Amino acid sequence: MRNVRFAVDVTEGRVQGLPLEGRSALVTGSSRGIGRAIAVKLGRAGANVAVNYVTREREAQQVVDQLASLGRQSFAMQADVGRHDQLGALFDRVASEWGRLDIYVNNAIDVASFGPVMRLRAESWRHTIDSHVTTFLLGAQRAARLMQGGDGAIVAISSLGSRTYVRDYAPIGVGKAAIEALTRYLAMELGPAGIRVNTVSAGPIETDSLRQFKTFDEMKDASIRFLPARRMGQPDDVADVVAFLCSHDARWICGQTLIVDGGFSLLGGH
């Protein structure tokens, strides 16, 4: 058996030849939760990462500092990506900093409505749907223009509510379903340019956002009692799959929605 040798930068303590080394990434909504885990995971895989936030400046700077400790280039920018002018400014900043983009992760959404469908109001419904699908469309368009060299990756984050009933979740579930549909169209039309587009559909993940739902305790209890791993999902469980989809190892995965739920969708009536 041949000896396998790794080139190690002793000063920085990094192993060279990481799967995303030298690539640039933008992760929206990356100051906390799943977005933060994705940003850090991409950095550990070698990517330089633009961190986006709306209100949590301190947390966003903590992510930047963590990425810097890994030897990565990073910056944080405030932008409400549901506002199209601010979304455009975010991509302008990426272009100014790096001149290109290799990875775009569409994670941030702005939810304006929850509740039973008969109580939903048109204005808040439109806002929630628009923050999902229109933001993904415009972000993917801008990202594609910055992707050069025929090896780009766009990944959106969805959830099981896109295909199953979750109480009080209709605006989000419908928005996520639209993201999954748009993924297929983007994949077909951007594929010839060497850009792969996929979506990760996450099961219940223990985050501050999910704790706002009335059904959080039920989901956590079901996860602990019935999932094969006997635990609830964590942000890193999603981040690891996103990083894989952004790598060359996932080169033959295109236009797909990968369900990452630890088996939660198998529980049926539990």
Please identify every residue annotated as catalytic.
169, 176
Distance of CA 163 to the CA centre of its chain: 19
- Which run of H or E residues covers position 217? helix 216-226
| C-alpha torsion 212→215→217→221, nearest 10 | -140
DSSP letter string, 98-141:
HS--SEEEE--------S-GGG--HHHHHHHHIIIIIHHHHHHH
Rounded CA-CA distance 135/87 in Å is 8
